[in-house]
């Protein structure tokens, strides 16, 4: 956890420990980034405004390094543009202050569930390879730097390659139903995913099926 407000950090640490979570606390961006790079965390909880590096800057650096640990951003910012910027930086979820404690814990549990799959078989679509067990993905032998939610969407599409995956299915399986289907959250994540999986390789494997959802070309586009 990274939170520069010492009082808030102490309250969150107590809350998480009482909920049964082992918690490491940092009060600035650089130390949080250094700790996260060492790994060993199931979920990252980051405040947006941190000294040295902001929460989104920490996440952007981690995603560039190939880390896909699920991450939740806490922020007093409520604008849609801010939410989009946080998601684009690599956040998997976003909670505005003031927040309900039970909602925070529920969101963290959901992120932990999505990041803890084991013993799953690697899947391939053309030169696109997704390994749910190690939570890694590559295209044409090049590692892909994905957020946890981007990885989950890609794994879902690859597992059903050639078939239409509805927005409702993505909502249910990736977000556990914990977002509004009418929002543009899914669209933002899919657009970001295309920017990492398709555009750099001049492919069009993730296809929009108007009014139905998305489909991944089984040949990899």
Supply the CATH number for residue 194's domain: 1.10.10.10
Sheet containing strand 206-209, strands side by side = 164-165, 213-216, 206-209
107, 10: one domain: yes
- Residue 221 counted as domain residue: no
Domain of 74 in residue numbering reads as 6-114
- pLDDT of 217 > 90? The answer is yes
Domain boundary among 80, 114, 148: 114
131, 105: one domain: no
Instruction: Give the DSSP H/E element, type plus range, for residue 44.
Output: strand 44-47
- Residue 204 counted as domain residue: yes
108, 171: one domain: no
84, 137: one domain: no
Domain boundary among 64, 82, 114: 114
91, 63: one domain: yes
pLDDT tens digits for range 49-67: 999 999 999 999 998 888 8
**Rounded Cα distance, 216 and 208, in Å:** 9
Q: Count up the domains in the chain and report the number.
A: 2
Q: How many CB atoms lie within 10 A of CB 194?
A: 17
Q: What is the mean pLDDT of residues 42-50?
A: 92
Under the banding of pLDDT at 50, 70 and 90, the label for residue 183 is low
Under the banding of pLDDT at 50, 70 and 90, the label for residue 159 is confident
Under the banding of pLDDT at 50, 70 and 90, the label for residue 144 is very high
94, 141: one domain: no
Model pLDDT, residue 28: 96
Model pLDDT, residue 21: 78
User: Which backbone phi and psi does 207 adopt, to 5 degrees?
Assistant: -105, 140
Under the banding of pLDDT at 50, 70 and 90, the label for residue 82 is confident
- Residue 1 counted as domain residue: no
Q: Where are the beta strands (DSSP E) in 70-194?
A: 71-75, 93-96, 123-125, 128-131, 136-139, 142-143, 164-165
**Rounded Cα distance, 142 and 171, in Å:** 28
87, 168: one domain: no
Domain boundary among 88, 114, 140: 114
97, 161: one domain: no
Model pLDDT, residue 207: 95
13, 58: one domain: yes
**For residue 69, what is the domain's CATH number?**
3.40.50.2300
44, 99: one domain: yes
127, 210: one domain: yes
Model pLDDT, residue 31: 96
Model pLDDT, residue 15: 87
Q: What is the DSSP letter of 200?
A: G
Model pLDDT, residue 160: 87
16, 109: one domain: yes
Task: With 0.75 as the threshold, say if the pTM is over it.
Answer: no
Bridge-partner residues for 129, per DSSP? 124, 138
Terminal C-alpha separation, the chain: 39
């Amino acid at each position: 956890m990274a939170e520069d407000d010492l009082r808030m950090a102490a309250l969150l640490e107590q809350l998480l420990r009482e909920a049964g979570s082992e918690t490491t606390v940092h009060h600035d961006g650089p130390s949080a980034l250094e700790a996260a790079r060492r790994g060993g965390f199931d979920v990252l909880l980051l405040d947006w405004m941190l000294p040295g590096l902001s929460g989104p800057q920490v996440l952007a650096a981690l995603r560039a390094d190939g880390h896909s640990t699920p991450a939740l951003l806490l922020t007093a910012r409520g604008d849609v543009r801010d939410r989009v910027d946080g998601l684009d930086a690599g956040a998997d979820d976003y909670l505005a202050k003031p927040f309900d404690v039970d909602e925070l814990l529920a969101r963290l549990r959901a992120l932990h569930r999505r990041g803890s799959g084991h013993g799953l078989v690697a899947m391939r679509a053309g030169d696109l390879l997704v390994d749910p067990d190690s939570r890694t993905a590559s295209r044409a032998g090049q590692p892909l730097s994905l957020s946890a939610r981007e990885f989950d969407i890609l794994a879902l599409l690859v597992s059903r390659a050639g078939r239409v995956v509805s927005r409702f299915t993505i909502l249910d399986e990736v977000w556990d139903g914990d977002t509004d289907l009418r929002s543009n959250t899914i669209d933002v994540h899919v657009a970001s995913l295309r920017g990492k999986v398709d555009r750099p390789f001049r492919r069009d494997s993730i296809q929009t099926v108007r009014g139905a959802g998305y489909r991944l070309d089984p040949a990899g586009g």
